[in-house]
Amino acid sequence: MAQTLSPVDLRRRPRRREGLIQVLLLASGLLSILVTLGIVYELVKGAMGFFTRPLWEDTNKPLAADVAPSDTVLPVRPEGAAIPEGAIIRVDEEIMRVQRAEETALQVERGLRGTQPAAHPAGVDIFLEDRVSLWEFFTGIRWIPQAGEFGILPLVNATFIVSAIAMLVALPLGLAIAIYLSEYASPRVNNVLKPLLEILAGVPTVVYGYFALTFVTPLLRRLLGPDVVDIYNMASAGIVVGILVTPLVASMSEDALRAVPRSLREAAYALGATKLETALQVVVPAAFSGLAAAFIVAVSRAIGETMIVALAAGAGPNFTFNPFEAAETMTGHIVRISGGDLSYDSIDYNSIFAIGLVLFLITLVLNTLSQRIVARFREVYE
Amino acid sequence: MSVRPRFDPNRAARHRRARIGMVVFQLATLVGIVVLMALLYNIINNAFGLAAIEYRIYPATLGLDLETLPQTPRERLLEILETHLSPGLRRSLERTRPLTQRSNEELAALVLERVLQPKVLDTWPLVPSLLHTQDIVAEVHARFPQAEVRWVRWLNTRFLTRPQSSDPLRAGVRTAILGSLWLVAITAATALPLGVAAAIYLEEYARKDRWYNRLIQVNINNLAGVPSIIYGILGLAIFVRALEPLTSGAVFGAVAEGVTANGRTVLSGGLTLGLLVLPIVIINAQEALRAVPNSLREAAYALGATKWQVVWHHVLPEALPGIMTGTILALSRALGETAPLVVVGASTFITFDPVHPFSKFTALPIQIYQWTARPQPVFRNLAAAASLTLLLLLFLSNGIAVYIRHRARQRRLV
Amino acid sequence: MTETPAVELRNLNVYYGSFHAVRDVTLAFPKNKVTAIIGPSGCGKSTVLRAINRMNDLIPNARIEGEVIFEGKNIYDPDVDPVEVRRRIGMVFQKPNPFPKSIYENVAWGVRINGFRGTKRELDDIVEEALRAAALWDEVKDKLHQNALALSGGQQQRLCIARAIAVKPEIILMDEPASALDPIATLRIEDLMRDLVQNYTIIVVTHNMQQAARVSDYTAFFSTDESRTGFLVEFGPTAQIFTNPKDPRTEAYITGRFG
Ligand SMILES: Nc1ncnc2c1ncn2[C@@H]1O[C@H](COP(=O)(O)OP(=O)(O)O)[C@@H](O)[C@H]1O
Ligand SMILES: [Mg+2]
């Protein structure tokens, strides 16, 4: 059999290096998924720790007599909080389950969860196990870790008030700037203003926090009176958060307005519309979804903003609707308690994750919504 | 053809409204500029000004000039220390190192700290200091008859080169600047290669119709919107706690027992910021890659190049200026981040410089935060000086980014 | 021609920055007639058209010299309000550009912003009348409040014509109004122009010679010189321009196109 040797070999050759590189690149892309999974996993794990961690509440009910390791009935005094049947209690280091509860005696199962039955002297207080329930977490209006009260509403409330004030500043201001830049300003003016906005957007938030505390707050107090405005207050923080997100609103809105085709503006002018009528009645409505997306992103930024509120809004949860009072937001609280020497084995450590999870979910919903809107908006004009 | 619309002839009113509208839009823009000015004004105003200072022993009574203290004759400094230090303190100082062997600077510092002992009683911002100098001087004489009124530049070279201190007149930001530089270096070392690789994958390799590629893209866009403090929590859980043996340097035997920062090291902080800016780096790099014209890729393919050759030899070099600009902007973001570092556990008070990735650290924004949150007003001045330093650093890095972009554009035009 | 023209160009020059786009056009557009502007691409047809209702004001570096006389007044006089000029000289664009609003709103908006004082009923009547005049009423009367973007391209363009008519202009400028449409939609637009010309003066730019021949009463032929500046070559009744052009350049262009 004669072998003909083809002068050119067009067969596919394995290129191992190419394949390896592609795998490495893909791995880098997948890392971002890993980060998201990491965030979700850690937040959920920490939050679970928060909701399952036993809090020992002092019942102020002492033992009435000495108890030996073998006793299964604890004599107790009638005073103090009632102890329900089935509850888990702790005496000194030992953990027990209450099987039957009477006014002056508790029948218990001794030495639970790896603790050993031990002798306990008369007079020691009985501690009752409590957990943070989801219901308490989402409806409680007090957040006092020392007292075992973990209602997130004061933090959420402050977050929303600060964000609302911020949007009250950023929406009109950002939209007006966007309209000016896209409809009125000449390219030369644009070339000056855009970098200024970028500088404003690039100032670190901690510097804005300094600005809020040392400039805006004194200004508010001078204008409205020091009895009306507290030194730490949500209004000042909100205004400055608004200033912080204004460049974001302005630049995203400007993009949306610029995406409106020129032909629409010309159609309006050709009907004898003035510039203002064209801008407000044709261009803005046509860009509506893009503008909505910008606002939603801005709200999400405002909710997640930390340093300004940490410095200017106040250091203590406070359930109030008065913007001139101090109140701590979710982010502010996380920063404050993690700024101290945080012990990993404390409810404080776990509470960071529970609050973080709520914060993450709120911003995730807002960001996803905004991206959806932007995607749809793009389709309209493509 | 019958219905004649009745048109309102008053066009003047419409034009008036249009003019008012324009003025409103202009004013809004002006407000933005005014706010920026107010921000800068407020910082500069607090970074310089008059201060009322009290001394244990006033420099004038010893014939000393504070500005030129180290230039004072050596004998004079030794003599002052001789007469004004308690014998016990002098003995302990001599034991550490004989005074006569110390340099003039060291002696001057000793005189300042141990003999003169200045203490800031009150400070005034720049503008009132300039406008009402006389009133302030009078006020100080009334309130603190002992005190001396002096001009203080809170931002000065000593401030930049001194470590942290609890004495506002001696506190500096060297430790913080070095910490910030370490952080940015670690952030860049992680986020740049990973981010560019991911961007190359998404732009050059990924097929857009595959669900997993779309998932990666959507996910990156979402990550870019996650609040920075959440990254702090992630860093705390993963780098500080789960990976503590690595991030504390224990497995490398890099730290001596007792000095360990546990997981709260500059490495943990840098990695956390790395994750934080990763999506931004990716998105910016994608944009740079997208700007490379397709004709370039086709030209290279037509010569028989493999995909990676096309990317490595042609696309990447062409996109590099854009990638660098985007990355620097992302790193600027890292330079100014505060919240995640607080959560990860930046130290608020350390006086020694970070020397390796396993050091405890502080950073400029952390210093600003700490000083602003202090109740004593003097520290506000330090916070202003540190803010000014941070802004200058950011200005510098953004300037570099703009320069790179400008250079690249010019080269393309030639 | 004894009747006063609808609008008259006198020594019109248009510049874009330093580029001289159109030079020295002097031309009177007859009332209640369709005048077609034809010529090779880039000869300044759109530029001239946009000069007639001051749409060029919106282009930052555009500059006009000469006069455009409308109702005995130069519309470029400093005391003239471009907003009113555009109300009275409407325009239909190359690509249909309805507002992303309802069909009804598209027609009513121009009426409203121009200070319409009347009842909802009257406005309804104006909208209906405009849509009828644009030969669109029967197709949309049941979906007046649906989004205009859902209409076909041809319907959108007729909606744009209705929108222009509704503000009762005297002149309607059309810049290649059928170039983005299919042949059937094109035919409807051409028929529409013939209907409208009883009440309006129409000036239409087209690069389609057959269209110019079919719909117009007069034709203006533009060309460019070696520096790409556009100028008017010849103006006259359409029949004469197409059968017996005076200028050899016109003849070359027309015969070249017809093959
Ligand atoms: N906005 C503009 N800026 C600069 N040059 C322009 C502008 N619009 C049109 N031109 C130029 O003016 C000339 C005439 O354009 P145009 O009136 O659109 O021509 P036509 O409509 O006859 O095709 C062309 O050379 C074109 O490039
Ligand atoms: Mg044209």
CA distances from C63 to A112, B210, C26 (A): 92, 52, 17
Q: Which positions in chain C touch B14 (Cβ < 8 Å)? A: 83, 113, 115
Q: Whose CA is nearest to atom 25 of ligand 1?
A: C42
> CB B4 to CB C83 under 8 A?
no
Sign of CA dihedral A229, A234, A237, A241: negative
Q: Would you call C86 an interface residue with chain A, using a CB distance cutoff of 8 Å?
A: yes
Pair type for strands A149-150 and B148-153: unpaired
Query: Which structure tokens are listed for A47?
Result: 């939050």
CA distances from B157 to A13, A370, B372 (A): 64, 47, 21
The whole-angstrom distance between A96's CA and the closest CA on chain B is: 32
Are A261 and A293 members of one domain?
Answer: yes
**Does residue C133 sit within a domain?**
no
Q: Whose CA is nearest to atom 9 of ligand 1?
A: C47
Are A71 and A216 members of one domain?
Answer: no
pLDDT at A322: 94
Q: Domain of A89?
A: 54-131
| B311-325, B342-356, C67-81, C188-202: range with lowest mean pLDDT | B342-356
The CA C226 to ligand 1 mean position distance, Å, reads: 15
> CB C86 to CB A269 under 8 A?
yes
Give me the helix-helix angle, C153-166 and C103-113, nearest 10°.
20
The whole-angstrom distance between A274's CA and the closest CA on chain C is: 6
Nearest beta carbon to residue C167 from set A263, A271, A277: A271
Highest mean pLDDT among A52-56, B35-39, B51-55: B35-39
CA distance C241 to C238: 5
Residues 3-32 of B with CB under 8 A from C: 3-11, 14-15
Are A90 and A163 members of one domain?
Answer: no
Contact residues for B115 (Cβ-Cβ < 8 A; gap 6+): B56, B57, B62, B80, B81, B84, B85
Classify residue C136 by its DSSP letter.
Answer: -
Q: Which residues pair with B151 in a beta bridge?
A: B50
Is the pLDDT assigned to residue B394 strictly greater than 70?
Answer: yes
Ligand sitting nearest the alpha carbon of C175: 2
**Does residue A17 sit within a domain?**
no
Are A188 and A336 members of one domain?
Answer: yes
> CB C93 to CB A281 under 8 A?
no
pLDDT at B114: 81
Q: Would you call B308 an interface residue with chain A, using a CB distance cutoff of 8 Å?
A: yes
**Which has more pLDDT, B376 or B176?**
B176
Nearest beta carbon to residue A263 from set C87, C93, C101: C93
How remote is the C-alpha of C209 from its chain's centroid? 16
The CA A324 to ligand 2 mean position distance, Å, reads: 60
C236-254 pLDDT per residue, tens: 999 999 999 999 999 888 8
The CA A256 to ligand 1 mean position distance, Å, reads: 27
> What torsion do the CA atoms of A162, A167, A168, A171 make, to the nearest 10 degrees?
170
Strands (E), chain C: 7-16, 19-29, 34-38, 62-70, 73-74, 89-92, 171-175, 201-205, 218-224, 230-237
Average pLDDT over residues B208-234: 92
Is the pLDDT assigned to residue C172 strictly greater than 90?
Answer: yes
Contact between A175 and A291 under an 8 Å Cβ cutoff? The reply is yes
Query: Which structure tokens are listed for A1?
Result: 């059999």
The CA C48 to ligand 1 mean position distance, Å, reads: 10
Are A110 and A153 members of one domain?
Answer: no
Are A345 and A222 members of one domain?
Answer: yes
The whole-angstrom distance between A301's CA and the closest CA on chain B is: 7
**Does residue C180 sit within a domain?**
yes
Q: Work out the number of other CB atoms within 10 angstroms of the CB of residue A346.
A: 12
Domain ranges of chain B: 47-154, 174-413
Please write down the HEC assignment for all residues of A139-193: HCCCEEHHHCEECCHHHHHHHHHHHHHHHHHHHHHHHHHHHHHHHHCCHHHHHHH
Residue located via tokens 């600047």: B177
> CB A46 to CB B278 under 8 A?
no
Buried b (16+ CB within 10 A) or exposed e, A158-193: bbbbbbebbbebbbbbbbbbbbbbbbbbeeeeeeeb
Is the pLDDT assigned to residue B370 strictly greater than 50?
Answer: yes
Domain of A92, CATH number, reads 2.40.10
pLDDT at B85: 82
Chains that touch A (3 or more CB pairs under 8 A): B, C
Ligand sitting nearest the alpha carbon of C16: 1
Domain of C243, CATH number, reads 3.40.50.300
Q: Would you call A277 an interface residue with chain C, using a CB distance cutoff of 8 Å?
A: yes
Q: How many domains does chain A have?
A: 2
- What is the residue-level pLDDT of chain A in tens, covering all 382 positions? 455 555 666 777 677 888 899 999 999 999 999 999 999 999 999 999 888 888 887 888 888 888 888 888 888 888 888 888 888 888 888 888 888 888 888 888 888 888 888 888 888 888 888 888 888 889 888 888 877 788 999 999 999 999 999 999 999 999 999 999 999 999 899 999 988 888 888 999 999 999 999 999 999 999 999 999 999 999 999 999 999 999 999 999 999 999 999 999 999 999 999 999 999 999 999 999 999 999 999 999 999 999 999 999 988 899 999 999 999 999 999 999 887 777 787 888 889 999 999 999 999 999 999 988 888 877 666 5
Please give the helix or strand (H or E) that residue B280 lies within, else none. helix B266-290
3-state secondary structure of A115: coil
3-state secondary structure of C201: strand
Q: Which positions in chain A touch C99 (Cβ < 8 Å)? A: 264, 267-268, 282, 285-286
The number of C-beta contacts closer than 8 angstroms across B and C is: 40
CA distance B106 to C228: 80
Is the pLDDT assigned to residue B1 strictly greater than 60?
Answer: no
The CA A175 to ligand 2 mean position distance, Å, reads: 34
Average pLDDT over residues B148-159: 87
**Does residue C102 sit within a domain?**
no
> CB A277 to CB C113 under 8 A?
yes
Nearest beta carbon to residue C115 from set B1, B4, B7: B7
What are residue C126's phi and psi, to 5 degrees? -60, -45
Are A156 and A241 members of one domain?
Answer: yes
Nearest beta carbon to residue B342 from set A300, A335, A368: A335
Average pLDDT over residues B53-71: 80
| Alpha-helix runs per DSSP H in A228-346 | 234-258, 262-270, 275-277, 284-286, 288-304, 307-312, 330-339
**Does residue C144 sit within a domain?**
no
Q: Region of C108 please: left (phi>0), alpha (psi -120 to 50) or beta.
A: alpha
Q: How many domains does chain C have?
A: 1
pLDDT at A6: 55
Are A262 and A348 members of one domain?
Answer: yes
> CB A32 to CB B368 under 8 A?
no
Q: Which positions in chain C touch B7 (Cβ < 8 Å)? A: 114-117
Residue located via tokens 């920062």: B261
3-state secondary structure of A74: strand
Closest to B123 measured CA to CA, from B100, B144, B94, B97: B144
Q: Would you call B391 an interface residue with chain A, using a CB distance cutoff of 8 Å?
A: yes
Q: Whose CA is nearest to atom 1 of ligand 1?
A: C59
Percentage with pLDDT > 90 across chain C:
64
> CB A35 to CB B348 under 8 A?
no
Q: Region of A368 please: left (phi>0), alpha (psi -120 to 50) or beta.
A: alpha
Is the pLDDT assigned to residue B259 strictly greater than 80?
Answer: no
Task: Tell me the residues of C at the B interface, defined by beta carbons under 8 Å apart.
Answer: 81, 83-84, 111, 113-118, 122, 125-126, 129, 133, 166-168, 199
CA distance A322 to B359: 44
Which residue ranges have their beta carbon within 6 Å of ligand 1? Answer: C 16, 19, 21, 41-47, 59, 228, 230
The CA C170 to ligand 1 mean position distance, Å, reads: 26
Contact between C68 and C80 under an 8 Å Cβ cutoff? The reply is no
Q: Whose CA is nearest to atom 3 of ligand 1?
A: C16
Closest to B327 measured CA to CA, from B377, B372, B287: B287
Are A319 and A177 members of one domain?
Answer: yes
When pLDDT is cut at 50, 70 and 90, the band that residue C114 belongs to is confident
CA within 13 Å, CB half, B152: 28
pTM of the model: 0.85
Task: Give the ipTM.
Answer: 0.89
Contact residues for B51 (Cβ-Cβ < 8 A; gap 6+): B120, B121, B122, B123, B124, B149, B150, B151, B152, B378
Q: Domain of C61?
A: 5-97+170-254
Are A125 and A249 members of one domain?
Answer: no
Query: Which structure tokens are listed for B120?
Result: 């800031």
Pocket test of ligand 1: the residue of C22, C23, C43, C173 to mutate, having most ligand atoms within 8 Å of its CB, is C43
Highest mean pLDDT among A276-290, B51-65, B394-408: A276-290
pLDDT at B256: 56
Residues 152-191 of A with CB under 8 A from C: 186-187
Residue located via tokens 């570099």: B400
Please give the helix or strand (H or E) that residue B149 lies within, else none. strand B148-153
Q: Would you call C167 an interface residue with chain A, using a CB distance cutoff of 8 Å?
A: yes
> CB A276 to CB B21 under 8 A?
yes
| A116-130, A254-268, B1-15, B364-378: range with lowest mean pLDDT | B1-15
When pLDDT is cut at 50, 70 and 90, the band that residue B2 belongs to is very low
Region B174-413: CATH code? 1.10.3720.10
> CB A32 to CB B39 under 8 A?
no
Residues 86-115 of A with CB under 8 A from C: none
Q: Which positions in chain A touch C107 (Cβ < 8 Å)? A: none
Residue of C nearest to A274 (CA): C83
Give me the helix-helix angle, B316-336 and B378-413, nearest 10°.
170
Q: Which residues pair with A62 in a beta bridge?
A: A125
Are A67 and A205 members of one domain?
Answer: no
> CB B4 to CB C111 under 8 A?
no
> CB B17 to CB A15 under 8 A?
no
Question: Amino acid identity, residue A71?
Answer: D
Q: Whose CA is nearest to atom 27 of ligand 1?
A: C42
The whole-angstrom distance between A333's CA and the closest CA on chain B is: 11
Are A157 and A123 members of one domain?
Answer: no
Residue located via tokens 């510049």: C15
Please write down the HEC assignment for all residues of B59-124: HHHHCCCCCCHHHCCHHHHHHHHHHHCCHHHHHHHHHHCCHHHCCHHHHHHHHHHHHHCCEEEEEC
CA distance A189 to B73: 59
> What torsion do the CA atoms of B290, B292, B295, B299 make, to the nearest 10 degrees?
-120
Nearest beta carbon to residue A335 from set B26, B229, B365: B229
> CB B205 to CB A352 under 8 A?
no
CA distance B28 to B36: 13
Length of chain C: 259
Pair type for strands C171-175 and C201-205: parallel
3-state secondary structure of C91: strand
Query: Which structure tokens are listed for C249?
Result: 């350049």
Contact between A126 and A132 under an 8 Å Cβ cutoff? The reply is no
Q: Work out the number of other CB atoms within 10 angstroms of the CB of residue A38.
A: 16
**Does residue A244 sit within a domain?**
yes
**Does residue A202 sit within a domain?**
yes
> CB A270 to CB C53 under 8 A?
yes
Average pLDDT over residues B215-227: 92
Domain of A204, CATH number, reads 1.10.3720.10
Percentage with pLDDT > 70 across chain C:
98
Burial of B181 (0-12, 13-18, 19+ CB in 10 A): middle
